[in-house]
């Protein structure tokens, strides 16, 4: 009986090792929901992910079903990649090795007639049009140079949390600028 138990344990460990070896010891990641409209968006995502330690095999193809995929050494690196994308002005969720990951939730408790968000990924006219399309009943101004811009939304009684959630649903992220 002891021999059977040992043999069963050995077979189980061997199976786990083969699965791990087949995956190359990495976590396969698939990103969903971020705004990709042009080659500049693709390049921004590749650039962001290339700077995250433990991330490799990055593929970005906005025409594919799996638009952004990559491999991470572990869930820790996968989470770091997700947070880097969010910090880079994108909003998305991610499937990492079968586990759903979402970015950290920011709670904003501000109401104003004008809200400005910094570091929003708006690299081209199509990005600008997409952001403006999210806020049809507001005036939207996009300023700055480079891929990360400042976006100001103006309308009566804007709730910062709802504005950020709307940006996020469109695949964008930013940081609320607090006026002193």
Place of tokens 């700055």: 144
Question: What is the pTM assigned to this prediction?
Answer: 0.83
Helix (H) or strand (E) holding 144: none
Percent of the chain with pLDDT over 70: 86
Percent of the chain with pLDDT over 90: 78
Q: Distance (Å, rounded) from C-alpha 147 to C-alpha 85?
A: 13
Q: Name the 3-class secondary structure at 59.
A: strand
Q: Distance (Å, rounded) from C-alpha 39 to C-alpha 47?
A: 12
pLDDT band, very low/low/confident/very high, at 24 (cuts 50, 70, 90):
low
Domains (ranges, CATH) in the chain? 24-101 (3.30.70.100), 111-176 (3.30.70.100)
Token pair belonging to 108: 């904003």
Place of tokens 């990649």: 81
Q: Name the 3-class secondary structure at 79.
A: helix
pLDDT band, very low/low/confident/very high, at 144 (cuts 50, 70, 90):
very high
Model pLDDT for residues 29-64, shown as the tens digit of each residue: 999 999 999 999 999 999 999 999 999 999 998 888
- According to the model, what pLDDT value does residue 31 have? 96
């Amino acid at each position: 009986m002891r021999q059977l138990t040992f043999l069963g344990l050995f077979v189980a460990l061997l199976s786990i090792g083969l699965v791990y070896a087949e995956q190359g010891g990495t976590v396969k990641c698939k990103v969903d929901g971020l705004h990709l409209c042009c080659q500049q968006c693709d390049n921004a995502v590749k650039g962001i992910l290339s700077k995250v330690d433990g991330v490799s095999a990055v593929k970005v193809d906005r025409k594919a079903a799996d638009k952004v995929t990559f491999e991470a050494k572990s869930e820790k690196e996968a989470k770091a990649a997700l947070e880097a994308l969010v910090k880079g002005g994108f909003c998305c969720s991610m499937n990492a090795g079968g586990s759903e990951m979402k970015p950290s939730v920011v709670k904003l408790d501000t109401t104003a007639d004008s809200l400005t968000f910094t570091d929003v990924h708006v690299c081209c006219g199509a990005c600008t049009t997409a952001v403006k399309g999210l806020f049809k009943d507001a005036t939207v101004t996009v300023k700055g140079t480079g891929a990360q811009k400042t976006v100001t939304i103006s309308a009566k009684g804007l709730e910062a949390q709802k504005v950020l959630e709307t940006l996020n649903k469109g695949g964008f992220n930013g940081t609320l600028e607090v006026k002193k």
